[in-house]
Amino acid sequence: MDEDVYSIWLNSVGISSNIKVKMLEAAGSFKEVYYINEKRCKDFDLKKEQIEKFITAKEDIEKSYKILEYSKQNGIDIINIAQKNYPEALSHINEPPIVLYGKGNKEALSEISIAIVGSRNCSDYGFQMATKFARELAEVGVCVISGLATGIDSCAHRGSLAVPNKTLAVLGTGVDICYPKTNMSLYNKIIDNGYIISEYAPETKPITYHFPQRNRIISGLSLGVLVVEAAQKSGSLITATHALNQGKLTFAIPSNLGSKFGEGSNEFIKDGCAKLIQNIQDIIEEFSLHIKVKLKQNMNEKNNNKKNLLDKNETLVYDCFDTNPISYNEILEKTRLENSTLDSILLRLSLNNIIFRIPGNRYLKNK
């Protein structure tokens, strides 16, 4: 209990997390960090105002006891950086959070994860792409991470939950506060089927600068960041930049030229900061071998399961597909089905995300 209280306290002290980590390593426990005196503070190259903040903050230890008690009463997890269940990926980033507060299923923290980010104001195209890619990543066992904002974030969470699969939301408020309130239904679904985390103590209201701050956690937890649709100066580009600085993979889906919704993501691709993505296979190919093998196995199982649900004529059409595009007329010739029958089957397969249409009246199997 002592370590929980003192970790909560250290998390609240207004100095760099990097310095806090050094203090923890030197002291050996959170409690011992609390008892570091003014003279010893100088060993950590703290400036005068930082020392004052650190020493003055000790007067607020009672608040930490109250936060701990509130968390216990409201089913909120407290995970500190010294614990085994703290995400290893986060411990390696610049300014790692000292404490994570969580609500829901904490197993989501140990899943293979990809962040999907984009603008709050998105187009119908952005809505469709975020939902599609989140769903397809979830289908092969990837936990989708986002920030529970309106727009692309919400689409990403909903797409993942539709499978269903775990999704992880990183908040700029306390985990007990849903922001925006219009996402309350989604917030509750994530608690039931995924995990909500924040470095901010419970009951922390939305503060503007908290949201760009939390973006380093979104990228830090993920293997890579997929930018779906980002306007110029979009906050999602901050997340993608964090990913680059953290040595993470960065991806972007191209938007229509001239679209104000995707100017930022298109520029990110143009500048060589992100790999252009057309399907989830493009993402999986960038992973290390052991992750790639696992996800491809999941993908093959998914495709086999889908095929097992097809009727005789649907299977006949499905078997026409390999890895290359195939034209409508080629399918017609191979299957010898009536036009109306083939039209109906192609529509059903498209709606079930098994195939998709490309220009020239051609089709591709979803990988």
Over the stretch 120-169, which tens digit does the pLDDT of each residue have? 989 999 999 999 999 989 988 899 999 999 999 999 999 999 887 889 99
What is the model's pLDDT at position 340? 87
What CATH class has 106-289? alpha beta
Question: For the whole prediction, is pTM greater than 0.85?
Answer: no
Query: Does the pLDDT of residue 304 top 70, yes or no?
Result: no
Query: Does the pLDDT of residue 231 top 90, yes or no?
Result: no
- Banded model confidence at residue 330, pLDDT cuts 50, 70, 90: very high
Query: Span 316-340, mean pLDDT?
Result: 90
* DSSP reduced 3-state for 3: helix
CB 268 within 8 A of CB 236: no
Query: Span 276-302, mean pLDDT?
Result: 78
* DSSP reduced 3-state for 217: helix
Residue 51 Cα to chain centre, angstroms: 35
CB 102 within 8 A of CB 110: no
What is the model's pLDDT at position 305? 58
What is the model's pLDDT at position 361? 87
CATH code for the domain defined by 309-365:
1.10.10.10
Query: Does the pLDDT of residue 302 top 70, yes or no?
Result: no
Query: Does the pLDDT of residue 298 top 70, yes or no?
Result: no
What is the model's pLDDT at position 303? 61
φ, ψ for residue 272 (rounded to 5)? 75, 15
What is the model's pLDDT at position 312? 86
Query: Span 70-94, mean pLDDT?
Result: 97
**Which residues does 168 contact at the CB level (< 8 Å), separation at least 6?**
108, 109, 111, 113, 143, 144, 145, 146, 190, 194, 195, 196, 197, 221
Query: Does the pLDDT of residue 205 top 90, yes or no?
Result: yes
**Which residues does 186 contact at the CB level (< 8 Å), separation at least 6?**
148, 154, 157, 158
Query: Span 293-315, mean pLDDT?
Result: 71
Query: Span 77-95, mean pLDDT?
Result: 96
Q: Which amino acid is at 102?
A: G
Q: What angle do CA 64, 205, 203 make, to 5 degrees?
A: 40
Structure tokens, 341: 């029958």
CB 114 within 8 A of CB 121: no
- Banded model confidence at residue 307, pLDDT cuts 50, 70, 90: low
* DSSP reduced 3-state for 103: strand
Give the up-direction half-sphere exposure of residue 336: CA atoms within 13 A in the CB hemisphere.
0
What tens digit of pLDDT does each residue of 9-46 get? Answer: 999 999 999 999 999 999 999 999 999 999 999 899 89
- CA-wise closest residue to 235 among 320, 150, 308: 150
Beta bridge partners of 116: 226
Pairwise CA distance, residues 327 & 311, whole Å: 22
Lowest model confidence (mean pLDDT) among 218-227, 267-276, 288-297: 288-297
Look-up of token digits 């691709």? 269
Query: Does the pLDDT of residue 1 top 70, yes or no?
Result: no
Lowest model confidence (mean pLDDT) among 171-180, 193-202, 275-284, 287-296: 287-296
